Amino acid sequence: MQRDELENFIKTLESMSEQTLTRHARRYICQSLFAINQEGLEIDVQTALDVLYAEFYNRGMERLYDMTYESVSKNPDSCKAA
């Protein structure tokens, strides 16, 4: 992953609403759990999850990330809509 790409990803996350950030997290969690390849996901999935978690942490919302991860794990069919 390129440094510029990572920096742009971080800046994008910082400007997202809570709802959009959660949808974004769900998308990458689905990818990591089920190795789904989707167009438009240029960034390394594990790195994306790390950066996403850091953004949730920075906002004091790490429990929301955990709940999103748990929700996807318990209901993998939700990935079809992610």
Question: What residues does each domain of the chain span?
Answer: 3-76
Q: What is the pLDDT, as a whole number, of residue 32?
A: 85
The 10 Å Cβ neighbour count of residue 29 is 24
Q: Average pLDDT in the 14-25 region?
A: 96
Give CA–CA dist 7/60, Å, rounded: 21
**DSSP 8-state code for residue 81:** G
Q: What is the pLDDT, as a whole number, of residue 46?
A: 86
Q: What is the pTM of this model?
A: 0.83
Give CA–CA dist 2/62, Å, rounded: 26
Interval 30-72: pLDDT, tens: 988 876 555 555 568 889 999 999 999 999 999 999 999 999 9
Structure tokens belonging to residue 69: 């991860």
Q: What is the pLDDT, as a whole number, of residue 36?
A: 56
Interaxial angle between packed helices 3-14 and 45-58, expressed in degrees from 0 to 180 and rounded to the nearest 10: 40
